[in-house]
Amino acid sequence: MSSEHPTQLEVDYTRTMMGFLLLDSQPASIAMIGLGGGSLLKFCHRHLPAAQFTAIEVNPHVIALRQEFEIPEDDERLRIICADGADFVRALPEESAGRYDVLLVDGYDGLGQSTSLCSQRFYDDCFRALSPGGVLVVNLHHDHPEHGVYTGRIRLAFDGNVLEVASMEKSNSILFARKNQRLCIDELRQSRPLENFAPEVRAQLQQEFSRIGWDIRQAG
């Protein structure tokens, strides 16, 4: 995190995950599994003022560091919940199913990603949690031995509507899946979601969004 610019996305793969704006530039409701340093949360809270944001983090010690990482306090647009992400989406009541326009999954600890966040049941529950046309964004590692298995599970849950793009750094592989709506590479390439955002947003995301348009491919 930059102390001078705490809402700036410093890590490449987080800018790639913001590629959901290419599919929905004004989501009303966003959920994120895995808080970490809160960079995606802070960015969305600042630059998507019409969106409600729910973060689910299993580790209370991570949540306890929110002031150190300058994460805003809960308010009418933001809440942070201490819970297992897989349990959270599974336990959504029927009236809450389909409530999220975007679901970000970046649930890692020192040992990697929890197996509960890679299961077929989890991805099926993510599908249920999303609104029609809603977007799932998952941070995976393309050199993980089970990468193909996880990608296949997402494809199965979302009826093949899955695209993948490698991040510029390390081995991050970002998957975009859409509920009940075909994902088209040409649509992403023609999308201009940043035109109505502040110059600081365009400065952070424009180059990455252009790269996504040319590097994205069908997953699996």
CATH number (domain holding residue 90): 3.40.50.150
Any domain includes 1: no
pLDDT value at position 1? 41
Q: How confident is the model at residue 220 (pLDDT cuts 50, 70, 90)?
A: low
Any domain includes 5: no
Average pLDDT over residues 21-36: 96
Any domain includes 75: yes
Q: Which positions are annotated as active-site residues?
A: 106
Between residues 89 and 6, which one has the greater pLDDT? 89
Any domain includes 2: no
Q: Which region holds residue 174: left if phi is over 0, alpha if psi is between -120 and 50, else beta? A: beta
Any domain includes 6: no
Per-residue pLDDT tens over the stretch 87-140: 999 999 887 778 999 999 998 876 778 889 999 999 999 999 999 999 999 999
Q: Which residues contact 55 (CB under 8 A, 6 or more apart)?
A: 31, 32, 35, 38, 41, 78, 79, 80, 81
Question: Is 156 a residue whose pLDDT tops 90?
Answer: yes
Question: Is 6 a residue whose pLDDT tops 80?
Answer: no
Q: The whole model's pTM is what?
A: 0.94
Any domain includes 192: yes
User: Domain tally for the chain?
Assistant: 1
Any domain includes 142: yes
Any domain includes 76: yes
Supply the range of the domain harboring residue 88.
12-218
Percent above pLDDT 90 for the chain: 71
